[in-house]
Amino acid sequence: MSTSLLSFYFLNVLLQFDAMQNIFTMVLAGGKGERLQPLTEHRAKPAVPFGGKYRIIDFTLSNCLNSGLRKVAVLIQYKSHSLDRHIRTGWNVFNAELGEFIASIPPQQRISEEWYQGTADAVYQNLFLLDSEQPDYVLILAGDHIYKMNYAEIFHWLIAKGADAVVGAIDIPIEEAHRFGVIGVDEDFRITDFIEKPAQPPAIPGDPTHAFASMGIYMFRTQILREYLIADAQESGSHDFGKNIIPNMIRDRRVYAYKFVDANKKNVKYWRDIGTLDAYWEANMDLVAVDPLFNLYDQHWTIRTYQGQFPPAKFVFSQDYQGGRMGVALDSIVCGGCIVSGGRVQNSVLSPNVRVQDHAEVRESIVMENVVIGAQSRIRRAIIDKDVIIPPNSEIGYNREADAQRFTVTESGLVVIAKGTKLHASLDSSG
C-alpha cells in the first residue's frame, strides 16, 4: 500500500473515531418486564441472565463497544440493584480521563418527582446529561434485545440522507407485523407512517410479503430531539418514542428508516425481542444448536460480560456399564464452576456453579447459578432461576397439572421456578 493510500486510510479511521465520540448513547433499561415474571421478580428485565454467563443488557452494551461508542448512559429504574452492580463491576472498561464511560443513571427527579412515564419521558428527565456532554447526535437503544449491530452504520445513514432522525428497522413477514410497531416508508426509505400493531400493516415498497418493524433504535440530531421532547412533555399521552415522538416528527422533519444489517455473520438475520418466557427460552435454545443461530464465537465481535472466578467445568464418573454413573453434556452450554456428577445434560444451558448429581437428567432447560439438581431427578423444558435446590427423585416438566400447582407454567407447558424457591422432597409427577 502506498504512503498516500495509508494516509487516506488512517485519516478516515480518525474521522470515524471523532464522529463516534460526538454521539451520546442512552440505553433504556428501566422496564419491569412483567411478561417475564417470575424471572423479573427481583431484577429488571435487562439484568436477567442469558446464555449461561451473560445478562440481556450485555448484548446491547457489546454492540456499543464494538461500534466505537464511548459515552453510554444506562437509564435504570425498576428493581435496578443487580443491573447497577453488573454495570459497575462488569463494564468499567473505558478511560475516564478521555471522557469515556458506561454509567448507570437512576431517576434524578430533576424535572419531575414522578417515575419515568414512558421511553421519551425517560430521556426528557435526563436532558441534563445532554446539556453536560453537548453531543451533536443522540442514539437511543433498548437494553432488552438480543442481536448484533454496528451502530456506526446508522450514523452514516443519517449523514448520507441529511436526516433529522433515523429509526432502526428489520424486515419481517407481513403476516407477523401486527405484533410490532410498523414503519411505512417510501422508495427512498423516508418514513411516511409509524403505526403500533396495525391490523393492516404497510408493506415494504417492492416487497409485498414483508413489512418494516421498529427495532427500538433511534438516532437524532440533538437539538431537534430536545425540541420534540420538550413539546411532548407539555402534552398528555404515553410519552413514548414509537407512539408520540416519531409520529410527530415525520410530519415536518426528515425521518428515515435504516434497514437492519446483521453483524451476526449468519445466513438469516437475528434479532430477538425476548419479552415473554417462551421467547426467552427459545432464544436460549438457539444457542445450543449444533450450528447456533446466534454466533457467540466471532472474535471480531465479542460479547463481553462480568465473569466470576469459577473453576473450569467438570464431568465426573465414566462408568459406562449398564446402570453405571456417567457425567455427560450433549448439545449444551456448560459454564465454569459446573460439576456434572454422574448425570446427563442435553440441549440445555447451565450457568456457573450448577451441580447435576447421580443419574439426574436435564433436557431442554435453562439452569441458572448455584442450582443443584438432585440425584435421580428428571427435568424437561424448564427455566430454573438462581439458588434453587431440586430434591432427589424429582420430576419437573412431565406432569403439567402437578407443575402448575407449584410453579409458573406457560401455555406451551414451559415450567419456570423462581429464584430461591424452597422445594421439598418427592416432587414427583404424581404431586
Highest average pLDDT, of 83-97, 328-342, 411-425, comes from 328-342
Q: What is the pLDDT of residue 5?
A: 53
CB of 417 closer than 8 Å to CB of 385: yes
Q: What is the pLDDT of residue 426?
A: 55
Fold topology of 3-288: Spore Coat Polysaccharide Biosynthesis Protein SpsA; Chain A (3.90.550)
Which residue spans of the chain are classified as CATH 3.90.550.10? 3-288
Q: What is the pLDDT of residue 14?
A: 45
> Per-residue pLDDT for 243 more than 70?
yes
Arithmetic mean of pLDDT over the chain: 90
Q: What is the pLDDT of residue 275?
A: 87
For the residues 345-361, what does the mean pLDDT come to?
97
Q: Which helix (H) or strand (E) holds 239?
A: none
Q: What is the pLDDT of residue 307?
A: 86
For the residues 17-39, what does the mean pLDDT come to?
85
Alpha-carbon distance of 115 to 105, in angstroms, equals: 13
**Rg, Å, the chain Cα set:** 24
> Per-residue pLDDT for 166 more than 60?
yes
Looking at per-residue pLDDT, the higher value among 93 and 220 belongs to 220
Label the pairing between strands 210-221 and 165-173. Answer: antiparallel
> Per-residue pLDDT for 213 more than 60?
yes
pLDDT tens-digit readout, 405-424: 999 999 999 999 999 998 97
As beta bridge partners, residue 144 has none
Alpha-carbon distance of 111 to 235, in angstroms, equals: 15
> Which pLDDT band holds residue 366 (cuts at 50, 70, 90)?
very high
Q: What is the pLDDT of residue 114?
A: 76
Q: How far is the CA of 338 from the CAs of 121, 314, 354, 363, 389, in angstroms?
A: 43, 6, 5, 16, 14
pLDDT tens-digit readout, 388-409: 999 999 999 999 999 999 999 9
Looking at per-residue pLDDT, the higher value among 428 and 101 belongs to 101
Identify the CATH number of the domain defined by range 314-417: 2.160.10.10
> Per-residue pLDDT for 7 more than 90?
no
Question: How far is the first Cα of the chain from the last one, in angstroms, to the nearest whole number?
Answer: 73
CB of 26 closer than 8 Å to CB of 123: yes
- Residue 194 C-alpha cell reads as 409509524
> Per-residue pLDDT for 152 more than 70?
yes
> Per-residue pLDDT for 216 more than 90?
yes
Alpha-carbon distance of 148 to 146, in angstroms, equals: 7
Q: What is the pLDDT of residue 127?
A: 93
Q: What is the pLDDT of residue 382?
A: 98
> Which pLDDT band holds residue 4 (cuts at 50, 70, 90)?
low
> Per-residue pLDDT for 13 more than 70?
no
Q: What is the pLDDT of residue 1?
A: 54
> Which pLDDT band holds residue 158 (cuts at 50, 70, 90)?
very high
Alpha-carbon distance of 395 to 388, in angstroms, equals: 15
> Per-residue pLDDT for 120 more than 60?
yes
| Lowest mean pLDDT segment, chosen from 135-139, 164-168, 304-308 | 304-308
Which residue spans of the chain are classified as CATH 2.160.10.10? 314-417
> Per-residue pLDDT for 107 more than 90?
no
Packing angle, helices 152-161 and 3-21, rounded to 10: 90
Q: What is the pLDDT of residue 2?
A: 56
